[in-house]
Amino acid sequence: MYLQINNLHKQFETKNGKLVVLKDINMTIKQGEFICAVGASGSGKSTLLRQIAGLDKPTSGEVRVDGVCVTAPGPDRGMVFQHYTLFPWMSVQENTEFGLKLQGVPKKIRREQASYYLSVVGLANFAKALPKELSGGMKQRVAIARALVSEPKVLLMDEPFGALDVHTKESMHEFMLDLWQRTKITVFMITHDVEEAVFLSNRIYALGARPGTVRKEITIKLPERTQTVKRHSKFHDYRDELMDLMRKHGQEALAVA
């Protein structure tokens, strides 16, 4: 399998003892899938993503990408954060090239690759613009181009549309689906937005809280993904099932607290 998470466990030492954040996480993601991990606050979503990105090490267990064990960040995993994390003094082109520059890629090659991915995300005409001249959705498209420019095996997304207004978010959902279908990249995204997860993903892992565990895996089978699919009865069924799970997990977490 392309992205494999095996018996992953993460705990932190606190003044009150051990805090278990993730427990026995097992996930199997095939190449080219769009996967969402959904959970309420306290489910360990961001901690899980940090393990996959190599930004933090698990207490036990492992993450493998294309058979290779993850021990640190690497160009095989591109990362898109909720906040745009663009350098305000750099142009769109320079922001997109930045990761390649750190890797020592020659200027001509990184210019060509950055230009290509800016065209992929529909921003070729904004290459010389500064971030302050862009809308929120455009800034996030730059962040996506920057993550893709190293041609990673997996695109990791940390609630990437959470800071956008409703209409921009819907537009970005359609953009993201189109991008995924064109590039065939493997996507692993975390979110607390149930409708977002149902609309975008092939499969959803529902996480319980305190500690974060996989409570259910749901395969999403819907007609062609346009905004009208949200009126489909199956869309409502998936959404309601996930909402019920999150409500139940939230009540369990409060009881433990």
Q: Largest Cα–Cα distance of the chain, in whole Å?
A: 58
d(CA 121, CA 182): 11
Residue whose C-alpha is closest to residue 114's, from 100, 96, 131: 96
| Domain encompassing residue 29 | 3-76+152-256
> Quick one: pLDDT at residue 178?
93
Q: Does 99 fall in a domain?
A: no
Instruction: Report yes or no on 129 lying in a domain.
Output: no
Query: Is the pLDDT at 256 greater than 60, yes or no?
Result: no
Read off the pLDDT of each residue in 213-240 and give the average, rounded to a whole number.
Answer: 92
Helices (H), the chain: 45-53, 92-102, 107-120, 136-148, 166-183, 194-200, 233-256
Q: Which residues of 138-157 are buried (b: 16+ CB within 10 A; e: fewer)?
A: bbbbbbbbbbbbbebbbbbb
Q: Is the pLDDT of residue 255 over 60?
A: no
- The pLDDT, as a whole number, for residue 253 is 56
Surface-to-core class of residue 12, CB atoms within 10 Å of its CB (0-12 exposed, 13-18 middle, 19+ buried): exposed
Strand-pairing partners, residue 3, are 29, 65
Rank 39-48, 218-227, 233-242 by mean pLDDT and report only the highest. 233-242
Domain CATH for 16: 3.40.50.300
221 inside domain? yes
Is pLDDT above 70 for 111?
A: yes
Side chain identity at 53, as an amino acid letter?
A: A
The verdict on residue 141 lying in a domain is no
Residue 127 lies in a domain: no
| Percent composition of the chain: helix, strand, coil (DSSP 3-state, to 5) | 40, 25, 30
Instruction: Report if residue 87 sits inside a domain.
Output: no
Q: How far apart are CA 4 and CA 7, in angstroms?
A: 10
Calculate what percentage of the chain has a pLDDT beyond 90: 79
242, two tokens: 């996930």
pLDDT in tens, 3-59: 999 999 999 988 888 889 999 999 999 999 999 999 888 889 999 999 999 999 999
The number of distinct structural domains making up the chain is 1
In terms of pTM, does the model score above 0.85? yes
The residue whose two tokens read 């210019």 is 111
Give the other-Cβ count within 10 Å of 203's Cβ. Answer: 18
User: CA-CA distances (angstroms) from residue 195 to 54, 116, 208, 228?
Assistant: 28, 31, 18, 13
User: Does residue 251 have a pLDDT over 70?
Assistant: no
> What pLDDT shows up at residue 151?
93
Residue in 164, 163, 229 with CA at minimum distance from that of residue 199: 229
Pairing relationship of beta strands 213-219 and 203-208 according to DSSP bridges: antiparallel
- 152-186 per-position pLDDT tens digit: 999 999 999 988 889 999 999 999 999 999 999 99
Question: Stretch 194-203: mean pLDDT, rounded?
Answer: 96
Distance CA 22, CA 195 (A): 24
Q: Name the average pLDDT for the chain.
A: 92
